[in-house]
């Protein structure tokens, strides 16, 4: 199980938030996802690599078929 994402309040200039919101809409992301992407890009430009934490798979697990149990 992966650790939950860290939540914290972020105060932004309204014009900056509007610009991030427009970029997020264009990229089909949430504002939160866009901010995370922009932060990763900015850190990469500075030579700082950040590992991507795997997200849990969504949906129901695959059903096992009778053929899967055969040895």
- As to burial, measured by CB atoms within 10 angstroms (0-12 exposed, 13-18 middle, 19+ buried), residue 29 is middle
- Whole-structure pTM value: 0.68
pLDDT band for 63, please (50, 70, 90 cuts): confident
Using one digit for the tens of pLDDT, what is the confidence trace for 1-57? 566 788 999 999 999 999 999 999 999 999 999 999 999 999 999 999 888 877 777
* Alpha-carbon 46 to chain mean position: 20
Q: What angle, 0 to 180 degrees and rounded to 10, lies between the N-to-C axes of helices 14-26 and 31-45? A: 90
Q: What is the residue extent of each domain of the chain? A: 12-53
CA distance 35 to 21: 9
pLDDT value of position 19: 98
């Amino acid at each position: 199980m992966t650790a939950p994402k860290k939540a914290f309040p972020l105060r932004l200039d309204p014009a900056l938030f509007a610009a991030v919101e427009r970029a997020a809409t264009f990229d089909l992301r949430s504002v939160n996802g866009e901010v995370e992407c922009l932060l990763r890009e900015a850190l990469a430009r500075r030579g700082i690599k950040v590992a991507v934490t795997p997200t849990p798979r969504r949906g129901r697990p695959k059903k096992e078929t009778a053929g899967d149990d055969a040895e």
